[in-house]
Amino acid sequence: MALARVLERPEPHSKRRLRLWLRLYGATSVIEREMRRFLRTDFATTLPRFDLMAALERAPEGLTMGELSRRLMVSGGNVTSIVAGLERDGLVCRRSPASDRRTSYVALTEQGRAAFVAMAREHERWIDQLLAEVADEDVEALTDLLAELKHKAEARAEAGRLR
């Protein structure tokens, strides 16, 4: 009888929020694993390279190494390594403005832009296939809820209320 009462108790809010985090993480992990596999098999590239190229695609004038690091939320060393490989492959170029030779901007080359457009087109198709079983209205609802979740989590983190 005592076990039945324990099982009937509502789950504490903290447990539900933890379960939410675990579900988000699980879904993200599955999708990310598949994207890594698709990029590796179809384009012989990695997700970090794709992400860096995506950041550069949104900034045609180029970005500094520091801006790339902040946008990708990775260390400067990681960005340097990825840029070096993309530069070696002719997909990005670095340039320094005459006014500040210490700063270098990284931008996609024409070859890099064409390669990214091809990858992005397939990426969109893969995501569409992977999530095809999710109803359109659920996609809209989840998108809205996740935007709200992100906004609230960012506000909470910025306010330093995570202690």
Distance of alpha carbon 151 from alpha carbon 157, whole angstroms: 10
Three state DSSP letters for 95-144: ECCCCCCCCCEEEECHHHHHHHHHHHHHHHHHHHHHCCCCCHHHHHHHHH
Question: Is residue 111 within 8 Å of residue 90, measured between CB atoms?
Answer: yes
User: The tokens 């997700």 sit on which residue?
Assistant: 47
What's the CATH code, domain 30-132?
A: 1.10.10.10
pLDDT tens per residue, range 91-121 = 999 988 777 777 889 999 999 999 999 999 9
The mean pLDDT value of the chain amounts to: 90
Q: What is the pLDDT of residues 126-143, one digit of tens each?
A: 999 999 999 999 999 999
pTM of the predicted model as reported, rounded to 2 decimal places: 0.81
Yes or no: say if 70 and 52 are a contact pair by the CB < 8 Å rule. no
Contacts of 26 (CB under 8 A, 6+ apart): none
H or E element that contains 64: strand 63-64
